[in-house]
Chains A and B, each alone.
Chain A
Amino acid sequence: MFEDPLVRPFLDDSHAQFYQNCLRFTREEITPHAYAWEEAEIFPRELYEKAADAGLLGASMPEAYGGGGGDIFHLILFCEAGLWAGTTGVLVGLGSMEIALPPILALGTEEQKRRWVPPVLRGKQIAALGVTEPNTGSDVASVQTRAIRDGESYVLNGSKMFITSGVRADIVTVLARTSEDPHGGLSFFVVEKGTPGFSTSQGLKKMGWRASDTAILTFEDCRIPIENRLGDEGMGFLALMQNFERERLLLAVYGHASAEVALAEAERYARERAAFGRSIMGFQVTRHKLARMATLARACKALNYQVADAMRRGESVLEQVCAAKNFACDVALEVCDHAVQIFGGMGYMRESIVERLYRDVRLLPIGGGTSEIMNEIIAKLRGYGR
């Protein structure tokens, strides 16, 4: 199943079997509809339930709450397999739970975990993470959405921007300010759909990730019970930082996986397409381009797997994860660009997978912390003073 000797040591039989399931699901349930869903800028809600029935959701989350009980590589393989359909949007839509649930699992009480996690992993409810705001993205510590304690409840005011799965989300894990302390004043809450004062926008129109819905969430005197606070007041920032580590790794994985799919598409096309009486693979310049794409994809995947493996062992890889994400962005952007070039005019058509990937990967250096912010973190961790 896993032939690449650089990859094989990280994976066992359970990964191979799970990957087969993921590939089957992609082939049967996503690929046939990928183009239509991208054009419609949404995929059917039933897909969550179908993916849950196939046992694919929350692969690395604890079995006790309906997860797969696997490790980070099971989750990585789910992302890799899904990308063969050529729509990142479907994956990040299905995957918004992968950023929304960890704060609940990390900070929540037993009761909170039992209440919110299983329905999402069964595909019955959709979960989203609300951190970014209209005026605050990179500078997370200046989040302005406020949660003011009032007796047995909190009253939320503010708004969240660019929230993946926000249009349809049944529960949102929201980062809000409970005191003025920049870092120590942030806390996580769960807000349920239908709570008075909580509203969502229509889906925002995007360059890529089209099959996923992205929304602005608004909280206007939105009153939630104190039981909806995760952990103690002030524990939000640290939990968010831990969440970022996983999220960044997953974005890095989308990078190498997009590169692999773009490469495979380009290889196929280069063999089939003829110009000047021979296949375009016959031009050395094409072969060298493909060779470079293959090299970048391999290096990127190897780094991501090493970082993931260190995470699996429980080691701290803050700096490495930022590096892996940035490298993956560079690789994905370059490789997808070459792939479009190899496709010629066909690469500019929306029906080509490489066209979609080209747009999809443009988000990677922006989402989950921009490349500049990754570099800031790397510089800081390496002790580069001003």
Chain B
Amino acid sequence: MKILVTTKRVEHYESKIRINAQGTGIVTDGLTYMINPFDEIALEEAVRLKDEHSAEVVVVAIGTEDATQQLRTGLAIGADRAILVKATQPIDSDVAARILKAVVDREEPNLVLMGKQAIDDDANQTGQLLAEFLGWPQATFAAKTESLESEAEKQKEPAIDLDDDTATVVREIDGGLETVEIDLPAVITVDLRLNIPRYPALPNIIKAKKKPLDELTLADLGITAEPKVTVLGYEPLPERQAGVVVDNVQTLLDKLQNEAKVL
């Protein structure tokens, strides 16, 4: 069994994101980075499955040399190998999925586990596109039936049920939870309520330095990055206006009707 997991480098969720003066991107000074939290959950699941199925776990990131930090964290959490696909140009979900398809073609994993979306662009497309390009089944928004305070979670039991040919996945859907069985190989994207990711232990962090990390270029993969989405510019959200205190309900209704025009 081989599991491929994505570990995208994203701005830390506690960072204050500011748009640069030219409106061409964000100010990166003083930002800290992390593995996309949804990918972290995918990796946690992979590492739990690894213990159960003696699987090999491979983490992959696309980006500059900086993304090796997230790959090393992935190795410290429990992945066996890492692959950095070096790319400096802008990458949209479509290009990311094409790159991942090329990596999957080389690695031939039984399962690709990834976050349902990355917290930077929140696109929620790469997993679905990858499954489409591969012609593989997909199960999106994987979750756990039990709560995250349950005994099963404390015991670090995997929520995804794997055997040689199939995966049983509980999915979060609008009305609740749905259980699907899909054939392997497959792509599974994970939601927030699947598990609580572990802290990588310090000895593992130190040992992760010695685990293999391969670098590939887009040329190695035979890919030219031609994004379908071009970012024209960035704008900050309008500043929130100060509120007003109204004297009575009637004034409030008036304002809602005539000024805010929401009633």
- Enumerate chain A interface residues (CB-CB to B < 8 A): 1, 3, 13-14, 16-18, 20-21, 24-25, 27, 53-56, 59, 63, 68-70, 74
Contacts and interface: CB of A to CB of B under 8 A. Distances in A.
Given A27-B14, A55-B199, 10 more contacts: A1-B33, A13-B69, A14-B206, A17-B73, A21-B199, A53-B199, A56-B199, A63-B203, A68-B201, A70-B202
Contacts of A56: 199, 202
Interface in B1-23: 14
Nearest to A27: B14
A21 B202 CA distance: 9
Instruction: Rank and list the top 7 A-B pairs by shortest CB-CB distance, nearest first.
Output: A68-B202, A55-B201, A54-B199, A69-B203, A21-B199, A14-B205, A63-B203
A17 B76 contact: yes
A18 B69 contact: no
30 contacts: A13-B69, A13-B72, A13-B209, A14-B202, A14-B205, A14-B206, A16-B69, A17-B73, A17-B76, A17-B200, A17-B205, A18-B205, A20-B32, A20-B34, A21-B199, A24-B199, A25-B199, A53-B199, A55-B201, A55-B202, A55-B203, A56-B199, A59-B202, A63-B203, A68-B201, A68-B202, A68-B203, A70-B202, A70-B206, A74-B202
B199 A69 contact: no
Interface of B: 14, 30, 32-34, 69, 72-73, 76, 199-203, 205-206, 208-209
Contacts of A68: 201-203
A55 B32 contact: no
A283 B189 CA distance: 53
Contacts of B72: 13, 17
A92 B199 CA distance: 22
A15 to B, nearest CB: 9
Contacts of B32: 1, 20
Contacts of A13: 69, 72, 209
B242 to A, nearest CB: 15
A265 B205 CA distance: 31
Contacts of A14: 202, 205-206, 208-209
Contacts of A27: 14
A324 to B, nearest CB: 25
Nearest to B204: A55
A54 B198 CA distance: 7
A53 B200 CA distance: 10
B209 A18 contact: no
A24 B30 CA distance: 18
A318 to B, nearest CB: 28
Contacts of B209: 13-14
A21 B200 contact: yes
A55 B202 CA distance: 6
A18 B34 CA distance: 12
A17 B207 CA distance: 12
A93 B205 CA distance: 25
Given A14-B209, A17-B73, A3 B199 contact: no
A69 B206 CA distance: 8
A18 B206 CA distance: 10
A345 B9 CA distance: 43
Nearest to B35: A20
A165 to B, nearest CB: 22
Contact of B202 (A18, A24, A25): A18
Contacts of A69: 202-203, 206
Contacts of B205: 14, 17-18
A64 to B, nearest CB: 10
Nearest to A54: B199
Contacts of B206: 14, 69-70
A113 B258 CA distance: 76
B23 to A, nearest CB: 25
